[in-house]
């Protein structure tokens, strides 16, 4: 059975481009974004690593640390990083895990045999500071990730962890949010004194509380 939302993210030790790490210790009190790549020196992965590096400030603003795993060696990762810097204009600013024995890939069920080989699919795990898995995404090898979506969901998770709201379809940071259906109107008045727009008793829209 694969990992589910709310499960504790499995810990591991691994060699990376920034030295050996204990995953949970490396995360510390940060959010983590663990992403797998099918192989080094491949075109889609090259663009994804570059995109992640360019977003380093955005991840930092969210107290989130990206980390990447591939079934190739750390030596290959370091050589590949030069290509990434040359073609994408930005070198990796985060660890890339060497996983030649596929220990991490198997721990996180990143190898899907129906995809054709023993390399990893494009998995994403968003992990909170309590080491709980909060989001999983699995892309086919042919499709690059949407990093705006990954950041958007981190924004949503961090908002809804701290306020009694949920976020609607296509929500962006700053948009109106939904008051939790678990709150009665009387309770909602305590948290949202400026009121809300009640479209249905279960659909009450209000301004984002931390803006």
Q: How far is CA 1 from the centre of its chain?
A: 21
CA distances from 160 to 141, 146, 151, 208, 210 (A): 31, 22, 14, 10, 11
Name the burial class of residue 78, with classes exposed (0-12), middle (13-18) and buried (19+) by CB atoms within 10 angstroms of its CB. Answer: middle
Closest to 36 in 3D by CA, of 118, 116, 128, 157? 118
Per the annotation, the verdict on 45 as an active-site residue is yes
Going by the DSSP 8-state scheme, the letter that residue 124 receives in this structure is E
CB atoms inside a 10 Å sphere around CB 167 = 20
d(CA 102, CA 115): 16
Q: Which of 27, 33, 45, 124 is catalytic?
A: 45
d(CA 109, CA 123): 9
d(CA 29, CA 188): 31
| Catalytic residue ranges | 45
């Amino acid at each position: 059975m694969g990992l589910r939302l709310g499960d504790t993210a499995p810990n591991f030790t691994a060699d990376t481009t920034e030295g050996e790490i204990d995953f949970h210790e490396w995360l510390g009190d940060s959010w983590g974004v663990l992403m797998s790549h099918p192989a080094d020196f491949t075109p889609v992965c090259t663009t994804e690593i570059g995109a992640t590096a360019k977003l380093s400030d955005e991840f930092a603003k969210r107290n989130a640390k990206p980390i990447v795993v591939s079934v190739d060696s750390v030596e290959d990762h370091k050589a590949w990083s030069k290509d990434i810097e040359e073609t994408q204009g930005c070198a990796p600013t985060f660890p890339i895990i060497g996983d030649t024995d596929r220990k991490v890939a198997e721990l996180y069920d990143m190898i899907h045999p129906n995809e054709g080989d023993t390399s990893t699919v494009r998995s994403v795990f968003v992990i909170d500071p309590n080491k709980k898995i909060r989001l999983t995404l699995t892309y086919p090898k042919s499709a690059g990730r949407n990093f705006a979506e990954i950041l958007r969901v981190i924004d949503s998770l961090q908002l809804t962890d701290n306020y009694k709201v949920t976020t609607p379809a296509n929500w962006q940071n700053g948009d109106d949010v939904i008051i939790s259906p678990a709150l009665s109107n009387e309770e909602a008045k305590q948290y949202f004194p400026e009121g809300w727009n009640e479209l249905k008793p279960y659909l009450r829209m209000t301004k984002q509380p931390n803006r």
